[in-house]
Amino acid sequence: MKPKSGDVVRVSTKEEVFEGILMPRPEILDKNVTVVKLFNGYNVGVDNKKIKKIELLKKYSPKIFSKSPLKKKKGLPNVTVLSTGGTISSKIDYKTGGVYADYTAEDFVEIYPGLADIANLKAKKIMSIMSEDMASKEWILIAKEVEKELNSGADGVVVTQGTDTLHFTSAALSFLLKDLSKPVILTASQRSIDRGSSDAHMNLVCAITSAAKFDAAEVMSCLHGTTNDDYCLLIRGTKVRKMHTTRRDAFRPINESPLAKVYENGKIKILNKNFKKRGESKTTAFGKFEKKVALVAVYPGMEPEIIDFYLKKGYKGLVLSATALGHVPTENSSSNLLPGIKKAISKGVNVVIASQTVYGRVHPYVYTNLRKLSIQLNCIFVEDTTPETAYIKLGFVLGQTNNHKKVKELMLSNLAGEITERSDDKSFLY
């Protein structure tokens, strides 16, 4: 039988013999080379012309976890872990060479048995996707699952997902979950669980600890606070952002201090007392999100007709990720956005201004150019809400009302901690 990628093989040349896993060859690379992953973890490439024979030693067999039902221990809080995919659920498939999302919450417990000592865990895989493929349908589904768990005995819920768009999900859940009475913790990992340097273990320990016992009825992210395994940070779901492509401490608080530090030994140190305490209310998940909302980057030299595209497509709301205090190119520029914005607003489209600096607040009046947007055109300046959170909030608000006055009122109200009265400067590059 001809060996296939994933199989354990012995490759012999005149001079040498290599044993290991036969690796797939990515399309872009030289096809005339056979790659073997040696048992010490290194890959070796062998020129096909030199190969005398390839013997099959063992057929590929994917690891199947036993999925033993999770046992309950008396006196421990109940935490449900909902898994959705992302790196934390991913492993390399040596057959295809790709990374795919497959570990579920039950597997997490099997890999890290200590998790079951923190809480009585219930595990549910609700989807298996990478987070760049998530949008409103998935956010609503997650919110509904969280609602179900919180109203049927869970003391807290952990949602695991990909890191890339975790701050969109955390903002979405912050708005979609009404009357939250327990913690909802989002966690993830930057490095997959099958790598020694994975951040998954500590993130899961801290997330489950927080869901089990942190006295906060908030949606929060819980990931590494430093590049070492020192502690995790609990950051409000509307005030967090992924700020680095690969670092373990990529999730940073924006314009507000983190709520707490969580240590692997179970200790929680509160840093910011501004959070709602646990309660008894029944949580309901809002089931509507307006999809015709866009997040548009403003930049020098941009094509102003971009706004027309959204108008033609029937968009109901635009969040402009504007420069600094909230600027867009004006009549002094060939990128003048003012006529497009005017047209959009006259058609009933809500135009929201947030800042691409991420830190700090937009301000509607400081410059004459800002007044053109705020006073003349009636754009909505959303204080220190991040552009991503503003985008989620606008989709949520437009899911409830189309009335501009009401939309403006809600966008300027602090619904889920997204607007702080005074941005906390200590959070800058925290």
| Binds ligand GLU (CB under 6 A): choice among 16, 132, 179, 425 | 132
> Is 284 a known active-site residue?
no
Q: Give the rounded distance of the alpha carbon of 219 from its chain centre.
A: 13
Q: For the CB of residue 123, give the shortest distance to ligand GLU in the complex, in Å.
A: 18
130 binds ligand GLU (CB under 6 A): yes
Quote the tokens at residue 159.
Answer: 């949602």
86 binds ligand GLU (CB under 6 A): yes
Helix (H) or strand (E) holding 140: helix 136-150
By C-alpha distance, which of 80, 164, 157 is closest to 123? 80
Q: For the CB of residue 365, give the shortest distance to ligand GLU in the complex, in Å.
A: 38
Active-site entry in 163, 187, 209, 238: 163
Closer residue to ligand GLU in complex, CB, 127/362? 127
CA angle 349, 352, 356 (to 5 degrees): 140
Per rule CB under 6 A, count of chain residues that contact ligand GLU:
10
Q: Which residues, numbered 138-197, are part of the site for ligand GLU (CB under 6 A)?
A: 162-164, 188, 190
Closer residue to ligand GLU in complex, CB, 132/305? 132
199 binds ligand GLU (CB under 6 A): no
**Contact (Cβ atoms closer than 8 angstroms) between residue 178 and residue 217:** no
> Is 242 a known active-site residue?
yes
Query: Which residues on adjacent β-strands are paired with residue 9?
Result: 20, 56
Active-site entry in 7, 107, 155, 164: 164
**Contact (Cβ atoms closer than 8 angstroms) between residue 293 and residue 269:** no
Closer residue to ligand GLU in complex, CB, 355/386? 386
84 binds ligand GLU (CB under 6 A): no
- CA–CA gap between residue 20 and residue 244 (Å, rounded): 35
Q: For the CB of residue 115, give the shortest distance to ligand GLU in the complex, in Å.
A: 19
Q: For the CB of residue 291, give the shortest distance to ligand GLU in the complex, in Å.
A: 20
Quote the tokens at residue 6.
Answer: 């994933």
What is the number of residues in the chain? 430
Closer residue to ligand GLU in complex, CB, 251/315? 251
**Contact (Cβ atoms closer than 8 angstroms) between residue 76 and residue 118:** yes
Q: For the CB of residue 129, give the shortest distance to ligand GLU in the complex, in Å.
A: 7
> Is 164 a known active-site residue?
yes
Q: For the CB of residue 148, give the shortest distance to ligand GLU in the complex, in Å.
A: 23
Binding mask 3-42 for ligand GLU (x = CB under 6 A): ----------------------------------------
What's the burial of 234, exposed, middle or buried (CB within 10 Å: 0-12/13-18/19+)?
buried
Position of tokens 């899961």? 204
Q: For the CB of residue 266, give the shortest distance to ligand GLU in the complex, in Å.
A: 25
Helix axis angle for 136-150 and 166-176, nearest 10°, is 60
| Binds ligand GLU (CB under 6 A): choice among 5, 80, 104, 131 | 131
Binding mask 390-419 for ligand GLU (x = CB under 6 A): ------------------------------
- CA–CA gap between residue 206 and residue 233 (Å, rounded): 9
Helix (H) or strand (E) holding 43: strand 43-47
Annotate 81-103 with b (16+ C-beta within 10 A) or e (fewer).
bbbbbbbbbbbebbbeeeeebbb
> Is 386 a known active-site residue?
no
Active site residues: 87, 163-164, 242
Which residues contact ligand GLU by CB under 6 A?
86-87, 130-132, 162-164, 188, 190
